[in-house]
A and B are shown apart, each in its own frame.
Chain A
Amino acid sequence: MKRTHSRIIMGATLGAAAIAVVVDHTRQRLPEPHKQLASQEAVIIIEEGEEIPTPSGECGTSASPGRRSSPCSL
């Protein structure tokens, strides 16, 4: 019984190590994002009296409720 128990623990330990190794191999450095080139930014026409959208409207944590009303839509 004791021997069986040890085998189970050994099996679990090896399994956890295998998971850790696989996960570790997927840890790969992602490229640094650059600021979007001005020429590629959307042109937004602001009418007189209308609020100017903030730069963080590109799916940031705040946005103007003006033209870019859904910055993270599909």
Chain B
Amino acid sequence: MPAAHIEAGRHASQWSGQVFSCLQEFAAQRTNAVLLTLADVDRLESGRRYPEPGLGFANNRWRTFYHCHEADVQQHPDEHGHFHIFTDIGNQTWTHVAGLGIDASGQPLQWFAVNRWVTDGPWLERTEFLHQLDTTSDREDDPLTGRWLFALLQLYRSTLSDLLAQRDAQIQLHAKVQDRAAVLEDPALYTLAVQPVELQSMLENHLLY
């Protein structure tokens, strides 16, 4: 078996363990990442960011916020809302990595990538994303939601790499008929790529066999 394959398997097992550990903490409190994020919120409003300045994690090099919106503009028919995840690529320059859609019971549904104009900031290259993952580590004193998200980012490393490749392929396709810079700002292009999340199966695959 090739060494890279073995290393990928070891990586997935390690981060499956981390995700499972976070799930055990959620389970003990009968909660999940979204409910924890909304713990102090009296009235959940569509379009608002929770928490408003974003939740930092992994040495504050990653940040997220959760929000939801009107039913007619959801990313997925079962989606309640989604986390937008950003990473600091230097000097507080934040770039969008991916969105993580969540269903009405707080379970992850799918990863998605959006066009540049949606989230602003520089365009995150796939290699830069992998570098960010390789050069950051989580912290025990991070909020549980942050630790869960970071473990998911690590566990879905190759899926997210594929997502960004799929996103770039879409941009390239549209760039055949208009300028690439214009494609990145085209309001008609919103979601560029989607990858489903089957977390329970993923954990079974990497923790049991």
**Interface residues, chain A, CB within 8 Å of chain B?**
12, 15-16, 19-23, 25-37, 40-41, 55-56, 58-65, 69-74
**Is the Cβ of A58 less than 8 Å from the Cβ of B69?**
yes
**Is the Cβ of A34 less than 8 Å from the Cβ of B199?**
no
With an 8 A cutoff between CB atoms, is B91 at the interface?
Answer: no
Complex alpha-carbon distance, A74 and B63, angstroms:
8
| CB-defined contacts of A72 to chain B, threshold 8 Å | 84, 96, 99, 114, 118-119
**Is the Cβ of B208 less than 8 Å from the Cβ of A16?**
yes
| CB nearest neighbor in A for B67 | A59
Contact A31:B38 (CB < 8 A) given known A25-B26, A26-B27, A74-B121: yes
Contact A33:B81 (CB < 8 A) given known A12-B208, A58-B47: yes
| CB-defined contacts of A15 to chain B, threshold 8 Å | 204, 207-208
- Taking a contact as CB atoms closer than 8 A, the residue among A26, A55, A70, A71 that contacts B107 in the complex is A26
With an 8 A cutoff between CB atoms, is B104 at the interface?
Answer: yes
**Is the Cβ of B43 less than 8 Å from the Cβ of A59?**
no
**Is the Cβ of B190 less than 8 Å from the Cβ of A22?**
no
Contact A36:B185 (CB < 8 A) given known A26-B23, A61-B75, A72-B119: no
**Is the Cβ of A35 less than 8 Å from the Cβ of B35?**
no
Residue-wise, chain B 23-63 has the 8 Å CB interface mask toward A (1 for contact) of 11011101110110010010111111000001000000001
Nearest CB in chain B: distance from A22 CB, A: 5
**Interface residues, chain B, CB within 8 Å of chain A?**
20, 23-24, 26-28, 30-32, 34-35, 38, 41, 43-48, 54, 63, 65, 67-70, 72-75, 80-81, 84, 86, 94, 96, 99, 102, 104-107, 114, 117-121, 185, 187-188, 190-191, 199-200, 203-204, 207-209
Complex alpha-carbon distance, A62 and B48, angstroms:
17
Complex alpha-carbon distance, A63 and B75, angstroms:
14
Where chain A touches its partner, the secondary structure class is loop
| CB nearest neighbor in A for B24 | A22
| CB-defined contacts of A16 to chain B, threshold 8 Å | 204, 208
Nearest CB in chain B: distance from A44 CB, A: 13
Q: Show 9 A/B contacts (Cβ-Cβ < 8 Å), sorted by A.
A: A22-B23, A29-B105, A34-B44, A35-B45, A36-B45, A56-B73, A61-B73, A72-B96, A74-B121
**Is the Cβ of A20 less than 8 Å from the Cβ of B200?**
yes
